[in-house]
Amino acid sequence: MRIGLGYDVHRLTDNRKLILGGVTIPYEKGLLGHSDADVLVHAIMDSLLGAAALGDIGKHFPDTDEKYKGISSMELLKYVGDLLKKHNYIIGNIDATIIAQRPKMAPYISEMVSNISDSLNIDCNKINVKATTEEGLGFTGTGEGISSQSICLLLD
| Residue 69: Cβ-neighbour burial (10 angstroms; 0-12, 13-18, 19+) | exposed
At the topology level, CATH places domain 2-155 in: 60s Ribosomal Protein L30; Chain: A; (3.30.1330)
Which residue ranges make up the annotated binding site? 8-10, 34-35, 42, 56-58, 61-65, 100-106, 132-135, 139
pLDDT in tens, the chain (156 residues): 999 999 999 999 999 999 999 999 999 999 999 999 999 999 999 999 999 999 999 999 999 999 999 999 999 999 999 999 999 999 999 999 999 999 999 999 999 999 999 999 999 999 999 999 999 899 999 999 999 999 999 999
Residue 94 pLDDT: 98
Domain chopping of the chain, boundaries: 2-155
**CB-based contacts of 64: which residues, under 8 Å, 6+ apart?**
none
Q: Do residues 69 and 98 lie in contact, with contact meaning Cβ atoms separated by under 8 Å?
A: no
Can you say which residues are annotated as belonging to the binding site for a divalent metal cation? 8, 10, 42
